[in-house]
Amino acid sequence: MKQARVLTDQEFRRLLAVIAQSRHGARNRLALMLSYQAGLRVGEIAALKLADVIDRDGGVRDQIRLCAAVTKGGHARVVFVNDRLRREIASFVNGMHENADRSAPLLVTQKQTGFSANTLCQLMARLYGEAGLDGATSHSGRRWFITRLAHSGVSAKVIMTLAGHKHLGTTQRYIDVNDDMMRAAVSIL
């Protein structure tokens, strides 16, 4: 089975530019950033509630706790929120009504209902298509996240845990390698 394409930095910037011009740009941007910056699957993103990302005082949480019911492997896990994602969440939440229902879905469709994994997957496919990024799918962000961590020297065990994988082999299949990476690797010698 062919894997989702990992975007280059230039392609990612192009995608964000397309999203900025889209009808629901802020929502679409946050959906992508949750994938790229936290490695979340579309089903996990679709299941997020406002209370999952902000605390009672309105501050962005340092961690997102995913219950077993929303994860692929059926195992609860903690997702750590980096500074960039924290700013993205804060920007999105600041645009919401201040008395928003904390139990409501974080991201909603045009009909003001929560996304299903399938509808969010379709939205991402449409955004990638509009950006002209063939081969990119809703899993591209997750692969980008895992690949970036691996190429930054993060321990395989840490990456495996962050991704919510139970087996190292699964995590290794996500890591993308290209000619530039191989060139840089041998230039170290």
Domain residue spans of the chain: 9-142
Structure confidence by residue, pLDDT tens digits, 102-115 = 899 999 999 999 99
pTM as predicted: 0.90
Above 70 in pLDDT, residue 97?
A: no
Above 80 in pLDDT, residue 178?
A: no
Tell me how far apart the alpha carbons of residues 163 and 172 are, in angstroms, rounded to a whole number. 11
For residue 61, give every residue at least 6 positions away whose Cβ sits within 8 Å of its Cβ, in sequence order, or none: 52, 53, 54, 55, 81
The proportion of the chain whose per-residue pLDDT surpasses 70, expressed as a percent, equals 98
Judge whether 54 and 112 are in contact, CB under 8 Å: no
Q: Which of 98, 143, 121, 112 is nearest to 46 (CA)?
A: 121
Mean pLDDT of the chain: 91
Tell me how far apart the alpha carbons of residues 37 and 172 are, in angstroms, rounded to a whole number. 18
Structure confidence by residue, pLDDT tens digits, 122-139 = 999 999 999 999 999 999
Judge whether 140 and 6 are in contact, CB under 8 Å: yes
CATH of 9-142, one of 2.40.110.10, 2.70.180.20, 1.10.443.10, 3.30.70.260: 1.10.443.10
Unique residue bearing structure tokens 């009504």 = 97
Report helix, strand or coil for 66.
Answer: strand
* Per-residue pLDDT at 139: 92
Written as six digits, the tokens of 98 are: 């201040």
Above 70 in pLDDT, residue 32?
A: yes
Tell me how far apart the alpha carbons of residues 133 and 189 are, in angstroms, rounded to a whole number. 34
Structure confidence by residue, pLDDT tens digits, 33-85 = 999 999 999 999 999 999 999 998 889 999 999 999 999 888 899 999 999 99
Tell me how far apart the alpha carbons of residues 102 and 82 are, in angstroms, rounded to a whole number. 22
**Catalytic residue ranges:** 41, 72, 139, 142, 165, 174
Report helix, strand or coil for 58.
Answer: coil
Helices 9-20 and 117-130 pack at an angle, to 10 degrees, of: 100
Strands (E), the chain: 63-66, 77-80
Above 80 in pLDDT, residue 11?
A: yes
